[in-house]
């Protein structure tokens, strides 16, 4: 078993928490790096008023002592500052306080969530389906990034387009959407480099690492499509134009292209992993769409929660975090993860064997 991650917390509850289990003991960690990553997630053009209230900062609750992981479950927490304004409405005990939200937003979890969980107040659903939860993914992902760095693996990313435009036109596109009470989505790309060939496996569907990456990226709020390498463009080309030819020089295998995005047969092939994701426009519109009131069943317009016009830069940072969690999981699964020194020794000897016998 590799690395496991799970989180809890409502968007306007007192705090968010997560448990990250499976990282080896002996990883030197710092809250500075995690907080810098949290800050990156809070930024980006087009964020709403909430990010002016929050100043996300991690607290270590378990699994870390004197700046090193212990190999035990790591519990992280981030306070929701906005809780101060929501204590009555989000109280864990006592009687319901404040108006119920009953007009479900099209494109959000609101309607199906309320029906499925038998809640008469849509707030019971939207509090958890909110992207606020991704704060903990970034905190856990930052720890995984620190571990991966020790393994020689680096993760980066960038926003490729917003609302169909790229470069200098992006800001104007967001301003235009905001002025119209609307929202915009976009496309981002994450790159993982330094990954050894052979993480994941071709032998069974649920061991294929490309599938795990696709699931992890699809799980990011508002992401509706995931592409590995040139996935979509490759579908309209000939095989001879798509597959990355294999060359050798001085006993070292190399390729001149990486259209596969670093995956072949469900395994990493030693090239950089390239994952792209498409984010739909956030469903909370200031110019609300038509819907139905779940209490009265009368036609109405969607609820207007204060929200972001565009959160693509945040989604990109979350993408890096998910890539870090999935890669750390695959590394611990393959090389073991009790003590960092053992993980690294196993990884090093594997890398040496691939280089010696296969030029990889």
How many residues line the site for ligand EPS (CB under 6 A)? Answer: 14
| 10 is a contact residue toward ligand EPS (CB under 6 A) | no
| 321 is a contact residue toward ligand EPS (CB under 6 A) | no
Contact 148, 268 (CB under 8 A): no
Instruction: Please provide residue 15's backbone torsions phi and psi, each rounded to the nearest 5 degrees.
Output: -160, 165
| 37 is a contact residue toward ligand EPS (CB under 6 A) | no
Min dist CB 131 to ligand EPS, Å, is 4
Which residue from 354, 353, 197 is spatially nearest to 264, judged by alpha carbons?
Answer: 197
In this complex, which beta carbon is closest to ligand EPS, that of residue 48 or of residue 152?
48
Footprint (CB under 6 A) of ligand EPS, residues 263-292: 284
Which residue from 334, 329, 327 is spatially nearest to 351, judged by alpha carbons?
Answer: 334
Of 131, 190, 223, 260, the one binding ligand EPS by CB under 6 A: 131
In this complex, which beta carbon is closest to ligand EPS, that of residue 12 or of residue 208?
12
| 76 is a contact residue toward ligand EPS (CB under 6 A) | no
CA–CA separation, 184 and 281 (whole Å): 4
CA–CA separation, 275 and 190 (whole Å): 5
In this complex, which beta carbon is closest to ligand EPS, that of residue 297 or of residue 306?
306
| 177 is a contact residue toward ligand EPS (CB under 6 A) | no
User: Using CB under 6 A, which of the segments 178-186, 242-250, 303-311, 351-359 binds ligand EPS?
Assistant: 303-311
User: Using CB under 6 A, which of the segments 127-135, 205-213, 260-268, 344-352 binds ligand EPS?
Assistant: 127-135
Strand, helix or coil for residue 37: helix
Query: In angstroms, what CA-CA distances link 131 with 8, 56, 109, 165, 194?
Result: 12, 14, 12, 24, 30
Min dist CB 247 to ligand EPS, Å, is 45
Which residue from 55, 112, 49, 77 is spatially nearest to 291, judged by alpha carbons?
Answer: 112
Query: In angstroms, what CA-CA distances link 148 with 5, 144, 219, 323, 344?
Result: 16, 6, 22, 11, 10
User: From residue 219 to residue 258, what is the string marking binding to ligand EPS with x (rule CB under 6 A)?
Assistant: ----------------------------------------
CA–CA separation, 17 and 58 (whole Å): 10
| 173 is a contact residue toward ligand EPS (CB under 6 A) | no
In this complex, which beta carbon is closest to ligand EPS, that of residue 11 or of residue 161?
11
| 308 is a contact residue toward ligand EPS (CB under 6 A) | yes
Min dist CB 119 to ligand EPS, Å, is 16
Burial class of 21 by CB neighbour count within 10 A (0 to 12, 13 to 18, 19+): middle
CA–CA separation, 130 and 133 (whole Å): 6
| 103 is a contact residue toward ligand EPS (CB under 6 A) | no
| 52 is a contact residue toward ligand EPS (CB under 6 A) | no
User: Using CB under 6 A, which of the segments 96-104, 234-242, 300-308, 333-341 binds ligand EPS?
Assistant: 300-308
CA–CA separation, 261 and 8 (whole Å): 33
| 11 is a contact residue toward ligand EPS (CB under 6 A) | yes
* Interacting residues with ligand EPS (CB under 6 A): 11, 48, 50, 82, 130-132, 135, 284, 305-308, 314
């Amino acid at each position: 078993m590799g690395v496991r991650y799970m989180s809890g917390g409502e968007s306007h509850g007192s705090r968010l928490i997560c448990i990250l289990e499976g990282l080896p003991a002996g990883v030197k960690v710092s809250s500075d790096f995690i907080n810098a990553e949290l800050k990156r997630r809070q930024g980006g053009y087009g964020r709403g008023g909430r990010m002016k209230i929050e100043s996300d900062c991690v607290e270590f609750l378990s699994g870390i002592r004197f700046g090193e992981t212990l190999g035990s479950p790591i519990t992280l927490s981030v306070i929701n500052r906005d809780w101060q304004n929501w204590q009555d409405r989000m109280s864990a005990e006592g009687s319901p306080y404040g108006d119920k939200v009953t007009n479900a937003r099209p494109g959000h979890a609101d309607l199906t969530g309320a029906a499925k969980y038998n809640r008469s107040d849509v707030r019971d659903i939207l509090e958890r389906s909110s992207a606020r939860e991704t704060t903990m993914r970034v905190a856990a992902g930052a720890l995984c990034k620190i571990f991966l760095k020790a393994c020689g693996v680096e993760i980066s990313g960038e926003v490729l387009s917003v609302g169909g435009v790229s470069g200098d036109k992006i800001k104007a596109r967001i301003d235009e959407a905001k002025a119209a009470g609307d929202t915009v989505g976009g496309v981002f790309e994450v790159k993982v480099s330094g990954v050894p060939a052979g993480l994941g496996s071709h032998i069974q569907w649920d061991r294929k690492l490309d599938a795990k990456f696709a699931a992890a990226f699809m799980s990011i709020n508002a992401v509706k499509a995931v592409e590995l390498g040139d996935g979509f463009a490759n579908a309209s080309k000939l095989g001879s134009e798509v597959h990355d030819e294999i060359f050798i020089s001085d006993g070292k295998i190399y390729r001149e292209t990486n259209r596969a995005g670093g995956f072949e047969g469900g395994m990493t092939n030693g090239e950089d992993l390239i994952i792209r994701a498409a984010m739909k426009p956030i469903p909370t519109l200031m110019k609300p769409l038509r819907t139905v009131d779940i209490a009265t069943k009368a036609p109405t317009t969607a609820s207007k929660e204060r929200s972001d016009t565009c959160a693509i830069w945040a989604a990109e940072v979350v993408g890096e975090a998910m890539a870090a969690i999935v890669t750390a999981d695959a590394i611990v699964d393959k090389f073991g993860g009790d003590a960092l020194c053992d993980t690294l020794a196993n990884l090093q000897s594997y890398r040496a064997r691939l280089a010696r016998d296969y030029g990889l």
